[in-house]
Amino acid sequence: MGKYHDLAKNIVKEIGGKGNINGLTHCITRLRFKLKDESIANTEVLKNMDGVVTVMQAGGQYQVVIGNHVPFVFQEVLDYTGIDPTKSVDMGKQKPFDVVLDVISGCFQPFLAILASAGMIRGLTALLVFLGAFERGSGTFIMLDNIGDSAFMFMPVIIGLTAARKFKVNDFVGLLLGAALMNPNLSLNALSANDATPIMTLFSGTIFENDVYQTFFGIPWMARNYASSVIPIIFIVLLASQIQKVAKKIVPEMLANFFVPFLTVLFTLPLGFLVVGPVFSFATDGLMAVFQSLIGFSPVLFGAVLGFSWQILVMFGLHWAVVPLALVQFMNNGFGNILTNIACVSFGQTAALVAIYLKLKDKKLKTLAIPAIVSGIVGITEPAIYGFTLPRKKVFIFTCIGGMIGGAYAGLMNLTVWNQGGLGVFAFPNYIRPDGDLTDFITLLISIAISVTISFTLTMLFHKEPEVLVSVEPTKIAKLSKEEIISPIEGSVLPLNEASDAAFAQGILGKGSLVIPTKGEVISPFDGTIMTLFPTKHAIGLISDKGVELLIHVGIDTVQLEGRHFEAFVEQGAKVKKGDKLVGFDIEAIEAEGYNTQVPIIVTNTNDYKDVIATDRKEVKTDDVLITAVVG
Q: Model confidence at 632, in pLDDT bands (50, 70, 90)?
A: low
Q: Of the listed 26, 27, 107, 319, which one is catalytic?
A: 27
Whole-angstrom distance, CA of residue 59 vs CA of residue 36: 14
Residue 409, pLDDT score: 96
Q: Is the pLDDT of residue 96 over 70?
A: no
Find, among 227, 201, 324, 217, the residue nearest to 271 by Cα: 217
Q: Of the listed 26, 319, 538, 553, which one is catalytic?
A: 553
Whether 26 is catalytic = no
Residue 459, pLDDT score: 94
Q: Model confidence at 336, in pLDDT bands (50, 70, 90)?
A: confident
Whole-number average pLDDT of the chain: 84
Least confident of 63-72, 467-476, 525-534: 467-476
Give residue-wise pLDDT tens across range 406-444: 999 999 999 999 887 777 888 888 898 887 789 999 999
CA atoms within 13 A on the CB side of 134: 13
Q: Are 311 and 400 in contact (CB under 8 A)?
A: yes
Find, among 221, 396, 241, 210, the residue nearest to 310 by Cα: 396
Least confident of 192-206, 254-268, 280-294, 528-542: 280-294
Q: Are 167 and 240 in contact (CB under 8 A)?
A: yes
Q: Is the pLDDT of residue 471 over 50?
A: no
Least confident of 101-105, 193-197, 582-586: 101-105
- The pTM assigned to this predicted structure is 0.54
Residue 476, pLDDT score: 37
Higher pLDDT, 481 or 240: 240
Q: Is the pLDDT of residue 91 over 80?
A: no
Whether 344 is catalytic = no
Whole-angstrom distance, CA of residue 380 vs CA of residue 391: 18
State how beta strands 528-533 and 539-544 pair. antiparallel
Q: Model confidence at 331, in pLDDT bands (50, 70, 90)?
A: confident
Least confident of 86-90, 293-297, 353-357, 532-536: 86-90
* 506 three-state secondary structure: coil
The DSSP code sequence of 318-371 is GGGGTHHHHHHHHHHHS-B-SSGGGTTHHHHHHHHHHHHHHH---HHHHHHHHH
Q: Model confidence at 477, in pLDDT bands (50, 70, 90)?
A: very low
Residue 47, pLDDT score: 82
Residue 473, pLDDT score: 37
Quote the distance between the C-alpha of residue 444 and its chain's center: 24
Domains and CATH numbers, the chain: 5-93 (3.30.1360.60), 154-294 (no CATH), 299-462 (no CATH), 474-630 (2.70.70.10)
Q: Is the pLDDT of residue 457 over 90?
A: yes
